[in-house]
Structure 1
Amino acid sequence: MIHRTHPLTGRRSRARARRASRILLALAAMAALLSVDVPDALAEPPLGVTAQALPDAETGRVGALFAGGLDGGHFCTAAVVRSDGGDVIATAAHCLDRPDTTVFAPGYRDGKAPYGVWKLTGVYVAPGWRDGQAPDADIAFATVVPADGGRTGAVEELVGGFPVAAEQPADAMVSVIGYPRGLEAPLRCANTTALFSDTQRRIDCPDLSGGTSGSPWLVDGALAGVLGGYEGGGTVPEVSYSAVMGDQAVELYREASVTD
């Protein structure tokens, strides 16, 4: 027997099929969007949360300072900044007490220095630090060259450099990247900052313990300070400080970065 479908019933069936098809397409599109967006959302920790910094262009410019060599243990953090010679790093002045034995390993991770080890050739600190270790002068710059004879060129040619930006607003959003002594990879934390005083800035970020002194404070990818200053950068790992990048620090930077 041949079953015949009423025309109206057939149209309703086709309409239901089209609606079901559209719903399935919408669900598939939503699943595709979620599969793309979720990893991006998880790439950066929330504000005020400290997490391991994944390898990228920024972390490649940040490195650990070691006493003598990679076997000497890292004790501070520094970052490559832009300069005429491509050879300047920024850190805290209190990290450069022994420049003759201090070396820099940009991008250091898990015992390896992917961009080599660099020794200091010149140190630029303000008179206020040199004469009395004034907290407001706890920003310094240094020039570096390869520590071994097998590497040539400038460090900035390998990893790039952060521009230097002074005169940031009191509530600037800052990202800090640094190496605690007990870890073999850098940590990253971002948060809104506040002025602790006219010359000191503070940030609330946990776990930035010893070894993170000298860590760059980045505002829109530019160096606006380094971890240090008041209390040597802080006496508890939840709150850190940086001297405000003022005229004196900018002049130091120019002295270190401009070649004749």
Structure 2
Amino acid sequence: MAPRPARPASAARTASLTAPLSAALLLAAVAACGGQDDRTAPTAEVAQQSPARDRVGTLSVHTAQGPRACTASVVHSPARNLLVTAAHCVQSHEVGLLDGLVFTPGYRNGYSPYGSWPVQSVTVDPRWAEDADPEYDVAFVTVRGTGGRQIEDAVGGNPIATGKGFGLAVSVTGYPNESDEPITCAVRTRSQSPTQERFDCGGYTDGTSGSPWVTGDGTVIGVIGGYEGGGNSPDTSYSVTFDQRVADLYRQATT
């Protein structure tokens, strides 16, 4: 399977929860899926709508129905206007910054409950901008406010956490390009290297780069990207380990 790239792809990737999965529920979901030690990885399912999952959305060109690039999610910031995604979703060494991107949180089946928010600025590490170094495949993205409101006012935002280590139970929600609904999987992170981590769950095809790795308390500790552009197989996905590199980049994006 090809990596999940930054290029725009062709446009097609009910019980409501009032909060992210609790740590206990998330651990139970991981166990029900067979965890990460079985021979067969679980497969992602359609993500049911919830306020927490509405913080995840599509990055597409010009409109919500435009060519898809990737997935992004809202994270807490002082200006209340910040997303996190993979750097390769918004900037490539060959092309530079992708123009005309909009973020559509909670998008599903042609419906955009919170509208689309134009990308205003992008913050990536210079080592990504210069060499596309997979050790720095993370980006923070600001979006322009709409009607006097910022994106975090509309859907809320998850905190970023760094230095949490491996072996964490997380849920990963993202948008495959071929689908008009998001998918999700409850998994446990594993070490790929001291600076990269992984999870095993099927279904994460092109368009899911940038999907947030969210712990039971609603904290983002990774995004699909990094090694192999996030993964050469839809069954295994990677992330740069959220450590001091990401803490420094977040500080740059918010000051």
Q: TM-score range by the shorter chain?
A: 0.7 to 0.9
Q: Which amino acid aligns with 1:200?
A: Q
Q: Which runs of 5+ in 2 are unaligned?
A: 1-24, 34-41, 92-96
Alignment of 1:220-239 (within 5 A): 220=216, 221-239=218-236
Alignment correspondent of 2:75:
81
The Cα shift of 1:182 comes to 0.4
1:219 matched to 2:215: yes
Match in the other structure for 1:101: 100
Q: What is the root-mean-square deviation in Å for CA atoms of aligned residues?
A: 1.9
Q: Residue 20 of structure 1 aligns with which residue?
A: none
Q: Deviations over 1:187-240 (max 9, x none)?
A: 000111110001110100101111000000112210101000000000110000
Q: Which residue of 1 aligns with 2:176?
A: 180
One-letter amino acid matched to 2:111:
K
Partner of 1:130: 129
Letter in 2 for 1:233: G
Q: Deviating runs (4+, > 3 A) in structure 1?
A: 43-46
Is 1:112 aligned to 2:101, yes or no?
Answer: no
Work out the percentage of aligned pairs sharing the same amino acid: 40
Q: Structure 1 residue aligned with 2:50, among 56, 70, 75?
A: 56
**1:103 counterpart SS class:** strand
Tell me: higher relative CO, structure 1 or 2? Use CA pairs within 8 A at least 6 residues apart: 2
List gaps (5 residues or longer) in structure 1.
Answer: 1-39
Instruction: Give distance in 2, aligned partners of 1:120 and 1:108.
Output: 16
| TM-fit CA distance, 1:44 | 5.8
Which secondary structure does the structure 1 equivalent of 2:179 belong to?
Answer: coil
Aligned-partner residue type, residue 235 of structure 2: E
Give 1:241's aligned residue: 238
1:93 is displaced (CA, Å) by: 0.1
SS of 2:52's partner is: helix
- 1:100 CA displacement: 2.7
Would you say the 8 A contact 2:169–2:187 is kept in 1? yes
Q: Which has the larger radius of gyration?
A: 1
- Residue 166 in structure 1 maps to residue 162 in structure 2: yes
Q: Distance in 2 between matches of 1:224 and 1:52?
A: 22
Does the aligned pair in 2 maintain the 1:99–1:123 contact within 8 Å? no
SS in 2 for 1:70: coil
TM-score normalised according to structure 1 size: 0.78
Conservation of the 8 A alpha-carbon contact between 1:99 and 1:120: no
The structure where helix makes up a greater share of residues is 1
Q: Secondary structure at the match of 2:60?
A: strand
Give the whole-Å Cα distance in 1 for the aligned partners of 2:186 and 2:223: 14
CA drift of 1:59 comes to: 1.1
CA distance in 1, matches of 2:124, 2:183: 26
